[in-house]
Structures are given as structure tokens and as C-alpha cells.
Structure 1
């Protein structure tokens, strides 16, 4: 039986682990969808202390920031793929949203933000009148 041996395999694995830890430390996968008259943003934040989650909105930029603490190990690490540190994500929101009415909840490692559409941005009916007949409504 032949065996394949790569002298750089351990180096590749070590570099991949280091690169993955720095890359994943700032990763925050999220979904954004519209549901009726509001938008829902769901961000994955597993292992985050809920007290460290900070959500802020300045101008039209929504910022989500959280801290994932590292588990201290008395012994020697054999594998360390769960990154620790600060994770952050910024999303630029469009016009027509009620930024002062955003609500947030955190459950099962998922931060859920509900962003309502502003009243002035919702579709409305405009009455059109003309002389000689009754008023007619046109949907805008």
C-alpha cells in the first residue's frame, strides 16, 4: 500500500487555523428579508454573552458589535477553531425606515432586529376629484 506524505501539511494546517481564527473573529453571517411592513435582520452570534451585544444606529448606519470571550484552558490547546474577540458588522439602511422604532432580541445564538417601514413611506390612497362627478379613489 502506498502512502502519500506531504512535508508541508502541518504548516498548511497551522497557517489555515491562524488565518481562520483572524477571519472568523470578525465574521457575522446574517440574513435580511422583508416581512410585510417591516424588515427582519437575523445575525448569527453563537457563544456571545448577551450583555456584550451593542446595537446602535447613527445617521443611516446600523452597527452591531459583540464580544466573544475566550475560554481559559489550564492545559495545552490541541485544536482551537472557535475565535474570541470583538465581532462587528455595519449595514447602511435605506430611507423610509422608522429608525427610532427598531427592536432587538437575542435567542439561541441569533440576534434578531425588526426594522419597521416609516408611515410616510407606506403606500396610501390619494383621492382625486374632478368637476361634474363624484370623487374617485386612485391607489398610489
Structure 2
């Protein structure tokens, strides 16, 4: 078996390993990379979770905090590791969600190692068009419109 050794790559790996150990938050973020974008009337959160057992994925919303938790189990056995870069264990990410989202209608799916969450914008927070009327523009009222609106009838004044 031929062995290839690159001392610079090995130094990068060691420095990355030490930096990851010193900064647990950075290491956690690196093991659960994500994308977040808006598409129409909902947001999409895509979290990379390759090699994770779908049964270990837990998504919860408490207050305005969304938590994604998953577990990747280590390979068991008597393997002789040549390179071991895929971390194992429990991983978690938390996001604080802003107001105007419908947290009761969040949906989640897991396919091809990617967890996709769809977070709808709440109906009251969706943009809507408001009609503007111009001052001084005459407005016609159809006869009987006041009665239909429950405002009673208006009798014309007569001279007499």
C-alpha cells in the first residue's frame, strides 16, 4: 500500500483541530452548516446533517428559540484509522426567530443528508396592498347602500 503524506495538510489539520477544541461554538457551527433564505411567503432553513440517523433528529420551538439537535454515532469496531475528520456525537444549533413567523406551522423533512425546515410568515405579517383614496375625489353612494350597511335610511328634505 502506498502512503502519501503532505506535511502542510497535516499542519492545517492539527491547527484546525486545536482551534476547534478551543472554540466549541465554532466547532459546533462547522459540523452543522446551514443556509437560511426567504422564498415568497416562507423562510427555508437547510441544515447539512450527512450520516445522521433520521431517528435522532429533534426539532423544537420554545418561545422564539428554534433548536435543531441530531446525533451521529461513531463507527464501532477495530478499525485502523488513517484519517478521521467526520465528528461523531450530538450536535445542536439554536436560532432566535423574529416576530411575524407562524411557529405552529413549521414543517420539516430530511432527505439526502439535508434537514429542510419551512417556516411560514404569519398571515398578519405578510405584506398587503392598501388602497389609497385621493382627497376631494367624489365618491358615489348607491341608493339603499346605507340600509344595507345597517346605517338606517336617509329621507330627502322637502320644502313645504
TM-score by length of 1: 0.76
Kindly state the Cα deviation for residue 124 of structure 1 after the two structures are TM-superposed. Answer: 2.7
More contact order relative to length (CA 8 Å, sep ≥ 6): 1
Alignment correspondent of 1:133: 139
> Which among 48, 51, 59 is matched to residue 47 of structure 1?
51
Which moves more between the two structures, 90-99 or 126-135? 126-135
User: Does residue 82 of the first structure (1) align with residue 86 of the second (2)?
Assistant: yes
Alignment correspondent of 2:151: none
Kindly state the Cα deviation for residue 125 of structure 1 after the two structures are TM-superposed. Answer: 4.0
Which structure: larger Rg?
A: 2
Q: Indicate conservation of the 8 Å contact 1:25/1:87, yes or no.
A: no
TM-score by length of 2: 0.67
Distance 1:112 1:9 in 2: 36
Higher strand content, 1 or 2 = 1
Deviations 1:40-73 (A, max 9, x none): 0101011000000000111111110100100013
Q: Indicate conservation of the 8 Å contact 1:25/1:84, yes or no.
A: no
- List 4+ stretches of structure 1 deviating above 6 A: 8-11, 128-131
Summarize the alignment of residues 89-100 of structure 1 with structure 2, pairs less than 5 Å apart: 89-100=93-104
Distance 1:116 1:99 in 2: 8
Distance 1:36 1:55, change over 3 A: same
> Which among 32, 37, 61 is matched to residue 33 of structure 1?
37
Task: Could you tell me which runs of 5 or more consecutive residues in structure 1 were left unpaired when the two chains were aligned.
Answer: 1-7, 136-140
Aligned residues: 128
